[in-house]
Amino acid sequence: MSDTPGTNTTATTGTARLAAADIADLARGAAILGTGGGGDPYIGQLMALEALEENGPVELVTPAALPDDAQILPVAMMGAPTVMIEKLPSVEQFVVAVDALGRYLGVTPTHIACMEAGGVNSTIPIVAAAQMGLPLLDGDFMGRAFPELQMVTATLFGIPATPMSITDDKGNAGIFTTVSNLWAERLARVVTVEMGAAAIVSLYPMRGHQAREAAVADTLSLCVRLGRAVREARAVHADPVAAVAQVLGGRLIHRGKVVDVVRRTTAGFARGEAKLAGLEANAGTTLALSFQNEHIIATRDGVVLATAPDLLICLDMDTGEPITTESLRFGHRIALVAAPCDARWQTPAGIELVGPRYFGYDLDPVRWDQVAL
Cα–Cα distances (Å) from 115 to 55, 120, 202, in that order, read 23, 11, 9
Burial of 59-69, coded b for 16+ CB within 10 Å and e otherwise, reads bbbbbebbeee
Q: What was the pLDDT predicted at 120?
A: 86
> What are phi and psi for residue 322, nearest 5 degrees?
-70, 145
Report the first-to-last Cα separation within the chain, whole angstroms.
37
Instruction: Specify whether the CB–CB gap between 115 and 74 falls below 8 A.
Output: yes
Q: What was the pLDDT predicted at 10?
A: 43
Task: Give the span between the Cα atoms of 306 and 30, in whole angstroms.
Answer: 21
Task: Give the span between the Cα atoms of 301 and 363, in whole angstroms.
Answer: 16
Quick one: DSSP state of residue 370? S
- What's the pLDDT band for 35 if we cut at 50, 70, 90? very high
Quick one: DSSP state of residue 121? G
| Average pLDDT score, the chain | 91
Q: What was the pLDDT predicted at 71?
A: 98
Quick one: DSSP state of residue 305? E
CA dihedral for 99, 103, 105, 110, sign (positive or negative): positive
Say if residue 269's pLDDT is above 50.
yes
Q: What was the pLDDT predicted at 7?
A: 41
Q: How many CA atoms lie within 13 A of 169 on its CB side?
A: 15
Q: What was the pLDDT predicted at 5?
A: 29
Higher-confidence residue: 40 or 222? 222
Quick one: DSSP state of residue 310? S
Say if residue 128's pLDDT is above 60.
yes
Q: What was the pLDDT predicted at 6?
A: 33
Q: What was the pLDDT predicted at 271?
A: 79
**Percent of the chain whose predicted confidence (pLDDT) is above 90:** 78
pLDDT digits (tens, 9 = 90+) for 246-257: 999 999 999 999
**Percent of the chain whose predicted confidence (pLDDT) is above 70:** 92
- What's the pLDDT band for 119 if we cut at 50, 70, 90? confident
Task: Give the span between the Cα atoms of 279 and 156, in whole angstroms.
Answer: 40
The pLDDT of 140-165, averaged and rounded, is 97
The pLDDT of 223-246, averaged and rounded, is 98
The pLDDT of 284-303, averaged and rounded, is 95
| Of the candidate ranges 37-41, 134-138, 201-205, 330-334, the one whose mean pLDDT is the lowest | 37-41
77: nearest Cα among 34, 111, 136? 34
| Structural domains for the chain | 15-219 (3.40.1610.10), 240-354 (2.40.390.10)
Q: What was the pLDDT predicted at 9?
A: 45
Residue 242's identity, in one-letter code, is: A
Higher-confidence residue: 45 or 230? 230
Instruction: Specify whether the CB–CB gap between 33 and 311 falls below 8 A.
Output: yes
pLDDT digits (tens, 9 = 90+) for 67-110: 999 999 999 998 866 556 566 667 789 999 999 999 999 999 99
Instruction: Specify whether the CB–CB gap between 140 and 113 falls below 8 A.
Output: yes
67: nearest Cα among 159, 135, 164, 157? 135
Taking phi first (over 0 means left), then psi (-120 to 50 degrees means alpha), and beta for anything else, what does residue 368 get?
alpha
Task: Give the span between the Cα atoms of 45 and 23, in whole angstroms.
Answer: 6
**Burial classification of residue 320, based on how many CB atoms lie within 10 Å of its CB (0-12 exposed, 13-18 middle, 19 or more buried):** buried
Task: Give the span between the Cα atoms of 120 and 290, in whole angstroms.
Answer: 21
- What's the pLDDT band for 4 if we cut at 50, 70, 90? very low
- What's the pLDDT band for 344 if we cut at 50, 70, 90? very high
Residue 373's identity, in one-letter code, is: L
Say if residue 268's pLDDT is above 70.
no
Say if residue 191's pLDDT is above 90.
yes
Beta partners for residue 261, in sequence order: 274
Q: What was the pLDDT predicted at 267?
A: 57
